[in-house]
Amino acid sequence: MSGESVSFNPAQLPWNQDGLLPVIAQQHTTGEVLMLAWMNAEALAETLQTGRVCYWSRSRQRLWRKGESSGQTQYLRALYLDCDRDAVLLQVDQIGPACHTGRRSCFYRQVTDDRVQVITEPVIAPEQLYAGSTDVRTTH
């Protein structure tokens, strides 16, 4: 259940008009989907090189080394491309909560029919998560 490995060139991926691809982060031990964020070619190359997950922050328009302000670092365990090579799946080891709200996963709102409900609570208060940081993140 494997093929020959071929050389990988991030520049050849079908980056969108903003030079980004969507990236799913999944906790490798539990399978929990933690977040969806974005990478450009530089963030992808840095992540593969360092083993510490680096995204592109669309709100801050700069590289975002996950955990740089919160301490909630993501360590890369495996990286996959999909069949069209236009989506990335990361299996990671997430230290603490992945979400800037202090929740383990960003996907804490469940939609049922015409209602939406918050189904998990923060494990760490956001003000504690970002204590001492002036960097307030808005969107991914």
104 binds its own copies (CB under 8 A): no
The CA-atom distances, in angstroms, between 52 and each of 18, 59, 89, 114, 139 are: 23, 21, 14, 39, 20
* Contact letters for its own copies, residues 16-55 (x by CB under 8 A): ------x-x-x---xxxx-xx-----------x-------
Pairing relation of β-strands 21-27 and 88-94? parallel
Query: Two tokens at 12?
Result: 């050849």
Residue from 54, 100, 129, 130 in contact with its own copies (CB under 8 A): 100
Other C-beta atoms lying within 10 Å of the C-beta of residue 98: 26
Residues binding its own copies: what is the number (CB under 8 A)? 52
The three-state secondary structure class of 13 is coil
Taking CB under 8 A as the criterion, which residues in 62-81 touch its own copies?
78-81
Handedness of CA 30, 33, 34, 37 (dihedral sign): positive
Residue from 116, 125, 131, 136 in contact with its own copies (CB under 8 A): 116
Residue from 61, 84, 127, 132 in contact with its own copies (CB under 8 A): 84
Q: Which residues bind its own copies (CB under 8 A)?
A: 1-8, 22, 24, 26, 30-33, 35-36, 48, 78-87, 89, 99-101, 103, 106-121, 138-140
